[in-house]
Amino acid sequence: MKILITGGCGFIGTNFIMYLLNNEEIKQDIQIINIDKQTYAGQGKNIEHLGIDKNPNYSFIKCDICNKPFLSWIFKKEKPDLVFNFAAESHVDRSIENSEDFILTNIIGTVNLLEVSKQNNIKKFIQISTDEVYGSTKDKSFNEDSKLNPSSPYSSSKAAADLQAIAYYKTHNLPVIITRSANNYGPYQFPEKFLPLFITNLIDSKKVPLMWSENNPGLNVRDWLNVLDNCRAIWFVSQNKENGEIYNIAGESERTNIHMTKKLLNYFGFGEEMIEKINHRKAHDFRYSISSEKLKKLGFKFQYQNLDSEIDKLIKWYKENQEWWRLLKK
């Protein structure tokens, strides 16, 4: 079985490839083709750091998914069975500064992939999305039928891509599945995101930038999902025979940002003097929360939900792999 993965040099894509190639029940029967534009977030040499590039079941083609003619050539040459679309611009603050790359990659690029997949009779197209498409909630958890209410240019571009994927299923009967996950954490996450930024700063005894105001001193809530559970869930639903379905993948570990910050400070032996209080970004969503009941009813079971111990492991990883992230922070 040939599996084409877009954005496989990024955080979740890298971990997904590693999961497939390390899984004894899967790796013997697959050939992975990773296509990636290698933007700033894909420059960490994740694949090489893991040694995946030496695996005979793996190959890489540098490609921008906005380049439709090149995509068509790749699909005709490689003839993939499954497509997993991880390729995305994903940093909210960058989308607020300039949304152009988000529109191009997340919407136009996804439509290109959907169209080329339709033309080549792909057996399954898995669109990787985010809980941010539902927007913020104070007292409930969103399910797959909840309305989309994105707040940022990033989340709105992902919502648009999801709608295009569903349209290709309804209009062209393209076998599409969408996954929407909570905040992922784990190794090889680019150090602009909350946990790797804070951890690497504290390794260097530098302050951590926490969004703060008198009315909201870091009280925004995020649900934390181990990237390996996300990878397991994505593969799990890709093997489901039903098409046109959406699956939420929750972390079931909601914490306020100030709680997570204090946990990291305590680990490194620092106090709150190491918090650099910065203004909240525009349209800062207060709380993301999704339900995974639909996924669990299919039989999926999470394995990495002890958040405290998993964060301790993550800190250790960033301490032991400084040659990976220091070049990126420059």
Question: Annotated catalytic sites, by residue?
Answer: 131-132, 154
Give residue 74's identity as a one-letter amino acid code.
I
Phi and psi at 286, nearest 5°, equal -80, -45
- Whether 233 contacts 249, CB under 8 Å: yes
Are 152 and 283 a contacting pair, CB within 8 Å? yes
Beta strand 124-130 with 31-36 is unpaired
Tokens 């929750």: give the residue: 250
Q: What angle do CA 52, 192, 262 make, to 5 degrees?
A: 110
Please say whether the beta carbons of 219 and 256 come within 8 A: yes
Distance CA 47, CA 13 (A): 10
C-alpha distance from residue 157 to each of 26, 89, 94, 267 (Å): 32, 9, 13, 36
For 182-198, b where at least 16 C-beta lie within 10 A, e where not — what string?
bbbbbbbbbbebbbbbb
Count CB atoms within 10 A of the CB of residue 172: 14
Query: Which tokens in the block code for residue 148?
Result: 């989309």
C-alpha 100: how far from chain center: 20
Element (H, E) at 258: helix 257-268
Q: State the Cα–Cα distance between residues 272 and 210, nearest whole angstrom.
A: 11
